[in-house]
Copies of this chain bind each other. A is one copy, B any other.
Amino acid sequence: MIQDLKEEYGNIFEEELINEIVQVGTFKEVQEGYKFMEIGDYIRGMPLLISGVIKILREDEDGDELLLYYLEKGDTCSMTMACCMGDKKSEIRAVAETDAKLIMIPIQKMEEWTGKYKSWRNFVFNSYHVRLNELLSTLDNIAFQKMDERLIGYLKEKARVTKDNIIHSTHQDIAYDLHSSRVVISRLLKKLEEMGKIKLHRNYLEILDL
Which positions in A face B, CB cutoff 8 Å?
A: 58, 60, 62, 64, 66, 68, 78-79, 81-82, 85-86, 91-92, 114-115, 118, 121, 124-126, 128-129, 131-133, 135-136, 138-140, 142-144, 179
Contact = CB atoms under 8 A, between A and B. Distances in A.
Contacts of A82: 128-129, 132-133
Secondary structure type dominating chain A contacts: helix
A144 B85 contact: no
- What's the number of copies of this chain in the assembled complex? 2
Contacts of A60: 140, 143-144
A128 B130 CA distance: 12
Contacts of A131: 132
Contacts of A92: 136
A198 B85 CA distance: 39
Given A138-B139, A179-B144, A121 B115 contact: yes
